[in-house]
Amino acid sequence: MSETLVIGLVSISDRASTGVYEDKGLPALEEWFARTLTTPWRAEKRLIPDDQATIEATLIELCDVAGCHLVLTTGGTGPAPRDVTPEATLAVAHKVMPGFGEQMRQIGLAFVPTAILSRQVGVIRGKSLILNLPGQPKSIRETLEGVRNDDGSVRVPGIFAAVPYCIDLIGGPYAETNDAVVKAFRPKSAQRPAG
């Protein structure tokens, strides 16, 4: 019996949260997880403004109350004055996981030189992994899946390949993926038989 993976999806946008335009981040993430995860999961969705106190409160609620094993944010990671998602994420963190931010920028640099302006971070709060993703659906997909060569082989690994094992290590459920989208990597000693 496998436990359900609970994923917090947080879209951070002043304009989308007030209805000025339609949020595209949450639907893109839900669609991606529907294609990617082969084990049970459910989403806790939030659409909030670029306000540090609100972001912090939302992340704490998703981790500590809703029991999310994974929380993904979209938006608010650039250098503009209203971009405070990384500050809010670091403020609620128990451990910083710098490899996630480093790899997200590496992936982005395969597409645009302005990827170095991104301040995305990855952290752990209790038994939850929190990751800041880009705001655009295409960039979200590239960040999670990585960059492929024309023959389909992976040129720059996406961050999600490491996420299921990280969730294992912090006490979450065993999540499995559709290898055609992204292959979850685990050391042999941490792999379970299929089925």
pLDDT for 25-62, tens place per residue?
999 999 999 999 999 999 999 999 999 999 999 999 99
3-class SS of residue 113: helix
Domain count for the chain, please give it.
1
Does 25 map to a domain? yes
Does 195 map to a domain? no
Does 165 map to a domain? yes
Q: Are 78 and 5 in contact (CB under 8 A)?
A: no
Output the pLDDT for position 1. Answer: 44
Does 45 map to a domain? yes
3-class SS of residue 74: strand
The ranges of the chain with pLDDT < 70 are 1-2, 194-195
| pTM of the predicted structure, to 2 decimals | 0.95
| 181: containing domain | 5-190
User: For position 30, which CATH number holds?
Assistant: 3.40.980.10
Closest C-alpha to 75, from 124, 7, 21, 139: 139
Does 103 map to a domain? yes
Does 115 map to a domain? yes
Does 155 map to a domain? yes
| 128: Cα within 13 Å, side-chain hemisphere | 23
